[in-house]
Structure 1
Amino acid sequence: MNIFARAKKFMAEEGNPNQWGGAYPERHRIEEDIEAGVCHVVTDEAGEIAGTFCLIIGTDPTYDHIIGQWPDSSPYGTIHRIASAGTHKGVADCALEYCLSKINTIRIDTHADNRPMLNWITRSGFSHCGTIFTHDGSPRLAFHLSKHQI
Structure 2
Amino acid sequence: MQKTPLTIRPATAADLPALAEIYRKARAFMAASGNPTQWGTTDPRPEILRQDIAQGQLFVLCQGNIPHAAFALVPGNDPTYAVIDGAWLSDAPYATIHRLGSDGTCHGVFAAAVAWAAARQPHLRIDTHADNHIMQTLIARAGFCYCGIIHVADGSPRLAYERLPG
Post-superposition offset of 1:145? 0.4
What TM-score, normalized by structure 2, do the two folds share? 0.87
Point out where structure 1 has 5 or more consecutive residues left out of the alignment: none
Equivalence for 2:88 = 70
Q: Deviations over 1:78-106 (max 9, x none)?
A: 00000011111011111101100111200
Per the alignment, residue 41 of structure 1 pairs with 60
Question: Cα RMSD between the aligned structures?
Answer: 0.8
Scaled by the length of structure 1, what TM-score is found? 0.96
The number of residues matched between the two structures is 147
> 1:113: which partner in 2?
131
Stretches (4+) displaced over 2 A? none
Partner residue of 2:39? 20
Alignment of 1:1-150 (within 5 A): 1-44=20-63, 46-148=64-166
Does 69-78 or 16-25 show the bigger shift?
16-25
Query: Identity over aligned residues, as a percent?
Result: 41
Unaligned ranges ≥5, structure 2: 1-19
Q: CA deviation at 1:5?
A: 0.5
CA deviations on 1:56-88 (whole Å, 9 max, x unpaired) are 010000000000000110100000000011111
In the aligned structure 1, how far is the partner of 2:147 from the partner of 2:106?
Answer: 30
